Chain A
Amino acid sequence: MILAWLLVLLFVGGVLAWVSDRVHAQLPRWVALSVTLACLLITLFLWLETPAPANSSGTWLLRYEVPWIPQWGVSFSLALDGLSLLMLALTFFIGLVSVLISWKEIKNRVGFFHFNILWVLAGITGVFLTMDLFLFYFFWEVMLIPMYFLIGIWGHENRTYAAYKFFIFTQASGLLMLLSILGLYFVHGAATGSYSFNYFDLLGTDFTPRVGKWLMAGFLAAFLVKLPVVPFHSWLPDAHSQAPTAGSVILAGLLLKTGAYGLLRFVVPLFPEAAQVFAPWAMFLGVLGILYGAILAFAQTDLKRLIAYTSVSHMGFVVLGVFAFNQWAYQGVVMQMITHGLSTGALFILAGFLYERLHTRDIRQMGGFWATIPKMGVIALVFVMASLGLPGLGNFIAEFLTLVGSWQASPAFTIFATIGLVAATVYSLRIMQKVFLGQHVATHRMQDLSPRELVIALPLVVLILWLGLNPQPVLDLAQGSLEEQLEAYHHPAVKTTSPDQVTLTAAYPQDSVQTLKGGSHALK
């Protein structure tokens, strides 16, 4: 029930924030702040109250389920495990930060702005919690519209184009996922006779490799575009660079993570066989993304665009890790999701701070700021170092674990991915060098960080350090649910090793084909 309350709080809070605009111009900010803070506290409370996840029997900490459209087997089904809990904590923390950084930046339509922020967070929360595929798609779409408005109304000069592109890319891929969800629903229904969108029912659905391949392709379309993986990434630099700071932070910190979460939660357990067939390609795309993103990041002159391309590069590690199918890599992926959310979010915030002072994002017009704004310089240094994977900061743990895991799956790809780390060093140091070192070019006086800005930046620094020095609590929390995602790869392992598969197909050559055929007749 407490899970549903989180959603209610965000949805109602959003409406309240919009309405409260009429009472007082500052009120929406306080409403949004208190709602996100309340959600964060609830999540932290859940974290502290949960029993140690050592008992691997029950990975689900909380479940809540009421029928929604019983005629179609749709239920309002929410569930919380370690993975979702971590994601929720990240969501509300980033949400809180986004509200704070907009305090001075957003001056018009304050009520509607905070409405959109809270509804985007609600959509994301829903995505991380729901265990019903219909509801999942529902929330998946709910987070799009407010994001579209955030970019389209409060964005920079080219906002309309960026908002369009973002919306159409994500919506198109989402519709393909909807097709797959329906396909899965009918295949499962025809096979078992019970039509349900429930995740737990649909787990372990049997289908022929061909059907599995197509169904997985739909899910992959949505998640790989959202992540994004290289051929589908072109919406990201535009959306990130045109969005207001809060929008960029939510995009980089949270929206991309929904893609990664989707891969872990849905693609991997639902389609174990098809995913293994696709794994080499996915790892290739991941490595391609790492290198391509890094090279393009190095070539950018727009600071936000640069950071956006570093996201492409970092998300490559996520794909690489997810398709390595082992516990090491998955721990790395989860760490990467969290630390990337923090570090890239922080970089976008710094870009926003600079934009407020300079009214430009062009790094050619920056330089030598260390002398005038040392506090910001130090904080930027921390996150630039995090982004290049310096040991002691969270990102190092993430990338190290991912690479260790992917080495076991494919040494060749891992070697190339490691080159990406070198490239990361190059582009990260370029940020530092161009903006804070070198010749001082700015003509007007610049303010160093204000107390409000410090309040935003310091917790981020503390968290990224904490994650780098003491990642164990996070890893422990995620472990149970990650094992569950991988379960399909341990038990029927016999099924996938080649000699057994031969015997299986030899013994029952047309078994699965017949099931499906019968199923499709039943539907007609």
Chain B
Amino acid sequence: MRLNDVHYLMPLLILVAGAIVTMLAVAVKRNHQVVFGLTLLAHLAALFTLLPLRGFSYQIPPFLIVDGWGVFTMGLILMTSLFVTLVSYAYFEQREERKEEYYILLLLATLGTCVLVISQHFMALFLGLEVLSVSLYALISYLRLREMSDEAGIKYLILAAMSSAFMLFGMALMYAVTGTMSFTEIAVYLRSVQDIPLLFLTGFGLVVVGVGFKLGVVPFHMWAPDVYEGAPAPVTAYIATASKGGMMGLLIRFISETNGYQYPSLVLIFTCIAVASMVAGNLLALRQKNIKRLLAYSSIAHLGYLLIAFLAGNQLGVEAVSFYLVAYFITTLGSFGVVALLSDNVRDADQLEDYRGLFWRRPATAAIFTAMLLSLAGIPLTAGFVGKFYLLASGVSTQQWLLVAMLVLNSVIGLYYYIKVIAVMFAQPEKKPELRKVLHPAISFASGATMAVLALLLVWIGVFPSTLVQIIRGLLVTFTALK
């Protein structure tokens, strides 16, 4: 550890400091506004210190590496976390639980995810993963007086702990074969052998279980619908975005560093996972009447789409993954943000019926939700379209016709349930809905403004994608693992 390292680790250190200061603030006096403000500040400061780290590839041996890919994913995760925080205020303000610890946990989860995406060593990987997971256990069951929330928390705890165990065992096996835990040295080892030893492959397979669990891809997706349904809406948004994005970032780093794309067996495994996720996710979403479950299944399918670009395994593929992650994050945050915005203090607005005629009651909210759903469906003028286009381009350029065909087929299936929700929102309400208790406008201002910003971003990226492409390309220059 050198003094210079501090400069590169600044975003992480700020997050740590933010968590501690928040904790102390809570100890002095519980005040939702102050804690909210501190959390925002921590995020903004971390983002600010992240800016000068562009364009470097800086090793902090043996654990971490801060390069373009790391900066991109960290920035994305911090932004996501920032948006989640913004949406959370109104959501938790109307609930009777003690709200302040939520923000500490959120900061810690973000810290864990950031560590995850810049790790180049199994130890750092596991450290980040566990910080993330443990925070998520508490976050998911944060509204502990609600039965669903408890159930979801326990479910996630058991399954995540188990998947971590799998992963740890897999790492141990790989370590037993290679004698190292560093990604680059594993790559050196792999280049030196003719055939990969079976033990290594077993270990890798076990790690895939852990990775697949966090990504929520078939066949490791069982937890997703229940957890999505039970967790508070902002936490659901966080799981669907930051947690999955972090794991995707790690996966790309690991596979690129170890030259994983040249092993057909590995490509085959991920191809199967991708196809299964797309098909299963979309088919299971078709008959859902619960918005949060529907979005859960849709996110399973979307991770399947994302794996297409991941499997392309070239510069275009990583660009496509990056772009799609941005588009998908905006969309998912927006969708769950709308759910959070419409929720009252009894339950989340997760039934399809809650949305009947929404367009005629709250046109702006419904318009934003429509835009988000259209983006998920990949319709032009939204970021989702350009993202899907990018995925298709990467798939076509590497001639993965099976995957590309599956993507097209599944987009059509997906369209059905997305427009089902839209149709419900535009339908005439049968009866006058009883007026729900509406918060003071000032309280939900942060949520409303966030939604508006997300919608604008969605359309902006959909119409002028070149800025984002430029940023991504600029950052990926220093992602040397690709070369």
Task: Decide if B380 touches A523 in the complex (CB within 8 Å).
Answer: no
Residues of A near B426 (CB, < 8 A) are 149, 152-153
- A100 on interface, CB distance cutoff 8 Å: no
Task: Decide if B374 touches A145 in the complex (CB within 8 Å).
Answer: yes
Task: Decide if A523 touches B397 in the complex (CB within 8 Å).
Answer: yes
- A524 on interface, CB distance cutoff 8 Å: yes
Residues of A near B48 (CB, < 8 A) are none
- A368 on interface, CB distance cutoff 8 Å: no
Rounded to whole Å, the gap between the CB of B344 and the closest CB of chain A is 27
Q: CB < 8 Å: which of B408, B423, B465 contacts A152?
A: B423
- A254 on interface, CB distance cutoff 8 Å: no
The stretch from B34-42, B156-164, B385-393 touching chain A is B385-393
Size of the chain A interface, CB-CB below 8 angstroms: 36
The stretch from A172-180, A201-209, A307-315, A483-491 touching chain B is A172-180
Task: Decide if A186 touches B397 in the complex (CB within 8 Å).
Answer: yes
- A238 on interface, CB distance cutoff 8 Å: no
Task: Decide if A71 touches B473 in the complex (CB within 8 Å).
Answer: yes
Complex interface bits, A449-486 against B, C-beta within 8 A gives 1, otherwise 0: 00000000000000000000000000000000000000
Considering the complex, which residues of chain A in the window 140-193 have a beta carbon less than 8 Å from any beta carbon of chain B?
Answer: 141-142, 144-145, 148-149, 152-153, 160, 163-164, 167-168, 171-172, 175-176, 178-179, 182-183, 185-186
A142 and B412 contact, Cβ closer than 8 Å, known pairs A183-B396, A520-B399: no
Residues of A near B57 (CB, < 8 A) are none
Complex interface bits, A61-74 against B, C-beta within 8 A gives 1, otherwise 0: 00000001111100
Task: Decide if A148 touches B419 in the complex (CB within 8 Å).
Answer: yes
A141 and B385 contact, Cβ closer than 8 Å, known pairs A149-B426, A182-B396: yes
**For residue A138, which residue of chain B has the nearest CB?**
B380
Q: CB < 8 Å: which of B379, B380, B381, B470 contacts A71?
A: B470
Task: Decide if B404 touches A179 in the complex (CB within 8 Å).
Answer: yes
A182 and B380 contact, Cβ closer than 8 Å, known pairs A149-B426, A175-B412, A520-B399: no
Task: Decide if A178 touches B389 in the complex (CB within 8 Å).
Answer: yes
Task: Decide if B396 touches A179 in the complex (CB within 8 Å).
Answer: yes
A167 and B466 contact, Cβ closer than 8 Å, known pairs A141-B380, A145-B374: no
Task: Decide if A70 touches B392 in the complex (CB within 8 Å).
Answer: no
- B411 on interface, CB distance cutoff 8 Å: yes
- B416 on interface, CB distance cutoff 8 Å: yes
Task: Decide if B314 touches A524 in the complex (CB within 8 Å).
Answer: yes
**For residue A134, which residue of chain B has the nearest CB?**
B389
Rounded to whole Å, the gap between the CB of B367 and the closest CB of chain A is 10
Residues of A near B381 (CB, < 8 A) are 138, 142
**For residue B419, which residue of chain A has the nearest CB?**
A167
**For residue A143, which residue of chain B has the nearest CB?**
B380
- B398 on interface, CB distance cutoff 8 Å: yes
Rounded to whole Å, the gap between the CB of A391 and the closest CB of chain B is 44
The answer for the CA separation of A235 and B411 in the assembled complex, in Å, is 19
Task: Decide if A71 touches B423 in the complex (CB within 8 Å).
Answer: no
Q: CB < 8 Å: which of A72, A139, A148, A524 contacts B398?
A: A524
Residues of A near B419 (CB, < 8 A) are 148, 163-164, 167
Residues of A near B464 (CB, < 8 A) are 68
Task: Decide if B392 touches A145 in the complex (CB within 8 Å).
Answer: no
Rounded to whole Å, the gap between the CB of B182 and the closest CB of chain A is 28
The answer for the CA separation of A148 and B373 in the assembled complex, in Å, is 14
Considering the complex, which residues of chain A in the window 117-141 have a beta carbon less than 8 Å from any beta carbon of chain B?
Answer: 134, 137-139, 141
Residues of A near B470 (CB, < 8 A) are 71
Q: CB < 8 Å: which of A69, A167, A179, A185 contacts B408?
A: A179
Complex interface bits, B463-475 against A, C-beta within 8 A gives 1, otherwise 0: 0111001100100
Residues of B near A134 (CB, < 8 A) are 389
- B352 on interface, CB distance cutoff 8 Å: no
Task: Decide if A163 touches B398 in the complex (CB within 8 Å).
Answer: no
Residues of A near B412 (CB, < 8 A) are 168, 171-172, 175
Considering the complex, which residues of chain B in the window 344-389 have a beta carbon less than 8 Å from any beta carbon of chain A?
Answer: 360, 374, 379-381, 385, 389
Rounded to whole Å, the gap between the CB of B315 and the closest CB of chain A is 11
Rounded to whole Å, the gap between the CB of A93 and the closest CB of chain B is 26
- B457 on interface, CB distance cutoff 8 Å: no
Q: CB < 8 Å: which of B374, B411, B416, B469 contacts A175?
A: B411
Q: CB < 8 Å: which of B398, B408, B411 contacts A523?
A: B398
Task: Decide if A163 touches B393 in the complex (CB within 8 Å).
Answer: no
Rounded to whole Å, the gap between the CB of A135 and the closest CB of chain B is 10
- B273 on interface, CB distance cutoff 8 Å: no
- B415 on interface, CB distance cutoff 8 Å: yes
Residues of B near A142 (CB, < 8 A) are 380-381
The answer for the CA separation of A196 and B473 in the assembled complex, in Å, is 18
Rounded to whole Å, the gap between the CB of A172 and the closest CB of chain B is 4
Q: Which 4 A-B pairs have the closest CB atoms?
A: A172-B412, A182-B396, A141-B380, A69-B466
Chain A positions near chain B (C-beta within 8 angstroms): 68-72, 109, 134, 137-139, 141-142, 144-145, 148-149, 152-153, 160, 163-164, 167-168, 171-172, 175-176, 178-179, 182-183, 185-186, 520, 523-524
15 other A-B residue contacts (CB within 8 Å) besides A69-B466, A524-B314? A70-B466, A71-B470, A71-B473, A134-B389, A152-B423, A163-B423, A164-B423, A167-B419, A168-B416, A172-B412, A172-B415, A175-B408, A182-B392, A183-B396, A520-B399
Cross-chain pairs A/B with CB under 8 angstroms, 19 sampled: A72-B393, A109-B360, A141-B385, A142-B381, A148-B419, A163-B419, A164-B423, A167-B419, A171-B411, A172-B408, A172-B412, A175-B408, A175-B411, A176-B408, A179-B404, A182-B393, A182-B396, A520-B399, A523-B399
